[in-house]
Amino acid sequence: ANVHPIRKGLGPDGKLLPGYFWHEADIDLPVEKRRILSDETHDRASGYRWDYLRSRGLA
C-alpha cells in the first residue's frame, strides 16, 4: 500500500486552500517540496511565525 498523507492546506485538486500560502523562499521548488504556511500561524509578508513577532513586539 503506497499511501501518501494529504498535505494540510492543499485541496483535492492540488491547489492551495484559502488562508494558506507558499513560503517565499520555496517558490522555485517543485510543488511537492514547498512549505505550506497558514495565515493563522505565519505573517504572509515576512514568513515569520506570529508568536515570534509578538515576542519581539513587532505584531
Q: Profile the chain (59 residues) by mean pLDDT over runs of 10 residues.
A: 66 90 92 92 93 95
Which residue has cell 495565515?
Answer: 39
pLDDT at 8: 84
DSSP 27: T
DSSP H or E stretch at residue 38: strand 36-38
Instruction: Give a yes or no: residue 9 inside a domain.
Output: no
pLDDT at 22: 93
Instruction: Give a yes or no: residue 48 inside a domain.
Output: yes
Q: pTM (2 decimals)?
A: 0.76
Number of domains in the chain: 1
Burial 27-57 (b: 16+ CB within 10 A, else e): eeeeeeebebbeeeebeeeeeeeeeeeeeee
pLDDT at 3: 58
pLDDT at 5: 54
Instruction: Give a yes or no: residue 13 inside a domain.
Output: no
Q: Which set of grid coordinates corresponds to residue 7?
A: 498535505
Domain that holds residue 47: 20-55
pLDDT at 6: 57
Instruction: Give a yes or no: residue 36 inside a domain.
Output: yes
User: 10 Å Cβ neighbour count for 26?
Assistant: 15
